[in-house]
């Protein structure tokens, strides 16, 4: 729901509400006014009739005079004094139907001590018609006014929110990894000017921090890789020595292996921070099936050596828009994971459809909770030789592209399903990455 729709709906709601209340009050006021007038007429007529009864012997044909139903009955006995006005229905002979009337009934005793009853009925049809017409006109007026109000509100809001929408559009296109500062248009509205100013300041600071971080990462990698290079190369020279004993060689070997691990670790962390910094922003249409086939070819020898059967089942190719380097890392990490945690004579089933793919592999049961699977440095006890960053990197890539990844164990298979086109429930499957 956008702002305009929201405010229009509010307008309509409150207009109708206020009209309903106003309408009821107005109706009652009109009705009261009309009734009061009718009652006045009835009372005046009654007074005239009473005068007639008091001061003359004959009663005229009131029906002729006042053009409505008047009945006067005179007795010889006095009558108690009593008068009231009410709404009622009487039978209209000319139309042979019941018609609504306002009726005054008055019982009294004349000066000559004669009791009389006067009943004056005034048809209400005309009055009711008039009230209906007035209300009808009012409804029309209201509808017109409301429509006009909404229209004017729409037009005004639209023009008022133009700078805001422009800012929003600008923000949407803002990419921290590119050197395009927010170019926000000038506006005369104070609040929007403040907003733009704040945003510009914020994005500038973000950009500065980002560059600092990037620089730090690059520096850190450079600074760490260089001593690592020195250690590695010196060790390589050291092992060329002729006079080394087996024990010494074993020691050097341990140091060498640790150094190799450390440099892999460094590269893995560097990759994660690069993905975090969105430094892989170039995307293209990637054919996941092709990459999957290439990856399997790459791991072919290891797969054969571990006597693992790979059963690919590609029903249709999956395409997605992403960075080609990351797509290779993503699939390579998942496949290598399914090989590393596999058992001898195991199996890897790979299915692919247009939505994504699933890698199911045999393997030992998980020694860590499922939800921690995608965290850094979480690894099962059996595979201490791995660095433990593979799935963390996969998770980073998935967060970047909002892919939906799920893991489950079923019938002895570890299944990792990756949907490149997230469905309705997408976004919940990824465990939060601790920072």
Partner 1 sequence: MKILLIEDEKELSSAIQLYLTRGNFLCETALTYNDALEKINLYKYDCVVVDITLPDGNGLNIIRELKEGHMDTGIIIISAKNSLDDKITGLDIGADDYITKPFHLSELNARIKSIIRRRNFGGTNEITLNEIRILPEEMLVFIHEKETILTKKEFDLLMFFLSNKNRVLTKESIAEHLWGEEIDMADSYDFIYTHIKNLRKKMIENGGRDYIQNIYGMGYKFLTT
CA distances to 108, 187, 269 from 258, in Å? 122, 60, 16
Q: Which is nearer to partner 1, 193 or 306 (CB)?
A: 306
Facing residues of 409 across strands?
A: 414
Which range in 159-167, 197-205, 244-252, 348-356 contacts partner 1 by CB under 8 A?
Answer: 244-252
Q: What does the DSSP assignment read for 8-72?
A: HHHHHHHHHHHHHHHHHHHHHHHHHHHHHHHHHHHHHHHHHHHHHHHH-SS---HHHHHSSEEEE
Contact yes or no for 182/200 (Cβ under 8 A): yes
Told to check if 25 binds partner 1 by CB under 8 A, we report no
Told to check if 309 binds partner 1 by CB under 8 A, we report no
Contact yes or no for 104/72 (Cβ under 8 A): no
Q: Least Å distance between CB 292 and partner 1?
A: 15
Q: Least Å distance between CB 368 and partner 1?
A: 19
Q: Which of residues 253-282 bind partner 1 (CB under 8 A)?
A: 253, 256-257, 259-260, 263-264, 267, 270
Told to check if 378 binds partner 1 by CB under 8 A, we report no
Contacting partner 1 (CB under 8 A), which of 108, 167, 332, 338? 332
Q: How many helices (H) and strands (E) are present in the chain, helices listed first? A: 10, 11
Told to check if 339 binds partner 1 by CB under 8 A, we report yes
Q: Least Å distance between CB 210 and partner 1?
A: 16
Q: Least Å distance between CB 232 and partner 1?
A: 5
Contacting partner 1 (CB under 8 A), which of 119, 187, 283, 336? 336
Q: Which of residues 162-221 bind partner 1 (CB under 8 A)?
A: 218, 221
Contact yes or no for 372/395 (Cβ under 8 A): no
Contact yes or no for 393/271 (Cβ under 8 A): yes
Told to check if 426 binds partner 1 by CB under 8 A, we report no
CA angle (336 as vertex; 330, 337 as ends), nearest 5? 90
Give the burial class of 208: count Cβ atoms within 10 A of its Cβ; 0-12 exposed, 13-18 middle, 19 or more buried: exposed
Which range in 46-54, 128-136, 227-235, 393-401 contacts partner 1 by CB under 8 A?
Answer: 227-235
CA distance 425 to 93: 74
For partner 1, the binding residues (CB under 8 A) are 218, 221-222, 225-226, 228-234, 236-237, 239-240, 246, 249-250, 252-253, 256-257, 259-260, 263-264, 267, 270, 298, 301-302, 305-306, 325, 332, 336, 339-340, 385-387
């Amino acid at each position: 729901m956008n702002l305009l729709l929201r405010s229009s709906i509010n307008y309509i709601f409150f207009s109708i509400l206020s009209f309903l209340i106003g309408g009821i009050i107005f109706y009652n006021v009109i009705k009261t006014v009309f009734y009061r007038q009718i009652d006045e007429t009835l009372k005046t007529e009654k007074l005239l009739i009473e005068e007639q009864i008091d001061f003359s012997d004959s009663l005229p044909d009131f029906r002729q005079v006042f053009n409505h139903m008047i009945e006067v009955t005179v007795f010889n006995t006095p009558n108690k004094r009593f008068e009231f006005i009410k709404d009622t229905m009487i039978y209209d002979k000319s139309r042979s139907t019941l018609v609504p009337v306002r009726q005054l009934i008055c019982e009294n005793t004349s000066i000559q001590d004669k009791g009389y009853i006067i009943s004056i009925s005034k048809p209400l049809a005309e009055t009711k018609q008039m009230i209906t017409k007035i209300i009808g006109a009012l409804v029309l007026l209201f509808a017109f006014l409301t429509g006009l109000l909404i229209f004017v509100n729409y037009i005004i809001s639209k023009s008022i929110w133009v700078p805001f929408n422009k800012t929003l559009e600008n923000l949407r296109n803002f990419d921290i990894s590119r050197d395009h500062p927010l170019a926000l248009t000038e506006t005369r509205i104070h609040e929007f000017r403040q907003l733009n100013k704040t945003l510009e300041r914020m994005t500038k600071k973000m950009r500065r921090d980002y560059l600092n971080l990037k620089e730090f990462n690059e520096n850190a990698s450079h600074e760490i890789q260089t001593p690592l290079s020195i250690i590695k190369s010196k060790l390589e020279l050291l092992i060329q020595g002729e006079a080394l004993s087996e024990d010494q060689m074993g020691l050097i070997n341990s140091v060498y292996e640790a150094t190799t691990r450390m440099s892999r670790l460094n590269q893995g962390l560097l990759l994660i921070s690069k993905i975090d910094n969105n430094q892989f922003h170039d995307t293209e249409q990637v054919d996941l099936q092709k990459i999957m086939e290439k990856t399997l070819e790459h791991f072919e020898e290891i797969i054969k050596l571990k006597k693992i059967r790979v059963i690919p089942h590609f029903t249709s190719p999956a395409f997605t828009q992403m960075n080609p380097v990351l797509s290779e890392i993503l699939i390579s990490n998942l496949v290598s994971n399914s090989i590393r945690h596999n058992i001898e004579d195991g199996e890897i089933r790979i299915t692919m459809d247009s939505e994504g793919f699933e890698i199911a592999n045999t393997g030992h049961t998980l020694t860590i909770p499922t939800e921690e699977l995608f965290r850094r440095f979480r690894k099962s006890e059996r595979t201490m030789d791995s660095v433990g960053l593979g799935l963390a990197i996969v998770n980073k890539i998935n967060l970047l592209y909002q892919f939906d990844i799920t893991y489950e164990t079923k019938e002895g298979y570890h299944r990792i399903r990756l949907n490149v086109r997230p469905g309705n429930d997408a976004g919940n499957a990824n465990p939060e990455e601790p920072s």
